[in-house]
Amino acid sequence: MTTQDWVLRHVALAPVRHGFFTRLGGVSKGPYASLNCSMRSGDRPEALAENRARVAGEMGVAPTHLLGVTQVHGDGVAVVTDPWDRGPEADALVSTRPDIAIGVITADCAPVLFMAEGGAVVGAAHAGWRGAAGGVLEATL
């Protein structure tokens, strides 16, 4: 793995722009400190906008092209074809669009990234015990 102070990358995924973002590097305060990107957290909207802009910049996309889902600890997978304002209920995303960055938010659940050979198709899954036991990883494939 390669490390900056707030994003981790793995050489095996190098053909694809990716990152595992830590809590560092953001502007949120209090219980949301620092790089909170969860739209469901109750954090200040301006802090969320800045944090998401920082992640989008690191991923090389516009903030409107940094997409996630409304995670529900299930096995649903959203296929991303175009940007959206609020993601559907699901726990994984897949896309073929290089101009869109997809991601999941985790605390004690595992983030799992998928990449087809060459990176033409990518996926991200939020794998908590319920979703993992329910087949979210298999559904993402």
DSSP string, 30-85: GGGTTT---TTS---HHHHHHHHHHHHHHHTS-GGGEE--B--SS--EEEESS--S
Give how many domains the chain has, as a whole number: 1
pLDDT digits (tens, 9 = 90+) for 58-112: 999 999 999 999 999 999 999 999 999 989 999 999 999 999 999 999 999 999 9
CATH number for the domain harbouring residue 116: 3.60.140.10
Q: Which tens digit of pLDDT belongs to each residue from 5-34?
A: 899 999 989 889 999 999 999 999 999 999
- pTM of the predicted protein model: 0.91
| Angle at the Cα of 44 from the Cα atoms of 41 and 50, rounded to 5 degrees | 100
Domain of residue 50 covers 2-140
